[in-house]
């Protein structure tokens, strides 16, 4: 046997084949691919993709919820009420791409929908025209539904929806994995109508109620009407995060997830040199 052949035989002896079904150590160390959804009260959400891209929807500056330090590369605003249209509260407000669902005339008297269908990096964002009330906007004007497609998942944020959807609107929304739906009534649909909208859209994985009253901010109703009778629900009062694995299996029914929130600590003033 030559020297090279002897060395090759030794290497084969030292590296036997793994038994079938044995986990691959290299694969076991790969991080789980996931999307993280965070709620900051009212209708303010951040979607963070598996690649770290951050999409914020309807940022606000409501004192009850404090001023959380939130960053975004993309900002989506459903309409121009001040509890939904405050991108300046974000850490990187000057560099984020901001998409507004409504266009307001210079004199402030007229609004129209801004049709958006854009791809930013690997994320697609598109808008759908709806109303803020059940009388074609005569009371509260127009509203925008946002559909975000990222990492193979589809997120739908209904903004301040004020009515059930038409069949044409349901078709335009398309298949949805995660739905964010207002439930507090008074200014939006209430809990009972929200249930009907969920049934219309049929989200695959999760339903997250939003825009409802909380202690210290109770001029709208709480989530109880929407939660009543929900058989598959999860209460997460100690976290504002929902982590969604990209390989999540389709359940028999979507889970209604009620996230918590904690008032952010005030930003410390800069230290004097």
pLDDT per residue as tens digits for the range 26-80: 455 566 799 999 999 999 999 999 999 999 999 999 999 888 889 999 999 999 9
* Domains delineated in the chain: 31-259 (3.60.15.10)
Q: Which long-range contacts (CB under 8 A, 24 or more apart) does 51-57 make?
A: 51/121, 51/122, 51/151, 53/120, 53/121, 53/122, 53/123, 53/150, 55/123, 55/125, 55/148, 55/150, 56/87, 56/90, 56/96, 57/146, 57/148, 57/157, 57/180
Q: What pTM did the predictor assign?
A: 0.85
Q: What pLDDT is attached to residue 51?
A: 95
Given this model, what pLDDT does residue 31 score?
67
Residues in the chain where the model's pLDDT stays below 70: 1-31, 262-273
Pairing of strands 34-39, 45-48: antiparallel
Dist CA 37 CA 45 (whole Å)? 7
The residue to which tokens 């649909």 are assigned: 189
| Positive or negative torsion for Cα 117, 54, 140, 207 | positive
64/55 Cα distance (integer angstroms): 23
Residue 172 CA to residue 242 CA, distance in Å, equals 26
């Amino acid at each position: 046997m030559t020297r090279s052949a002897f060395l090759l035989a030794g290497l084969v002896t030292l590296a036997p084949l793994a038994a079938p079904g044995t986990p691959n150590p290299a694969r076991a160390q790969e991080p789980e691919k996931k999307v993280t959804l965070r709620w900051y009260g009212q209708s303010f959400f951040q979607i963070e993709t598996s690649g770290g891209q951050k999409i914020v929807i309807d940022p606000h500056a409501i004192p009850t919820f404090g001023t959380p330090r939130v960053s975004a590369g993309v900002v989506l605003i459903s309409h121009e009420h001040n509890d939904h249209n405050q991108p300046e509260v974000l850490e990187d407000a000057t560099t984020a791409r901001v998409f507004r669902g409504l266009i307001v005339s210079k004199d402030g008297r007229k609004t129209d929908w801004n049709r958006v269908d854009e791809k930013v990096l690997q994320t697609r964002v598109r808008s759908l025209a709806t109303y803020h009330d059940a009388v074609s906007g005569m009371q509260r004007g127009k509203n925008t539904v946002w559909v975000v497609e990222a990492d193979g998942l589809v997120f739908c944020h209904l903004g301040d929806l004020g009515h059930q959807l038409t069949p044409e609107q349901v078709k335009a929304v398309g298949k949805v994995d995660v739905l964010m739906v207002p439930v507090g009534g008074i200014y939006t649909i209430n809990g009972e109508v929200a249930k009907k909208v969920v049934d219309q859209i049929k989200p695959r994985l999760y339903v997250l109620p939003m825009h409802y009253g909380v202690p210290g901010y109770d001029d709208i109703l709480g989530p109880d009407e929407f939660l009543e009778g929900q058989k598959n629900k999860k209460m997460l009062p100690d976290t504002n995060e929902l982590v969604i694995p990209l390989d999540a299996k389709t359940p028999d029914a979507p889970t209604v997830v009620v996230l918590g929130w904690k008032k952010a600590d005030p930003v410390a003033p800069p230290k004097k040199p």
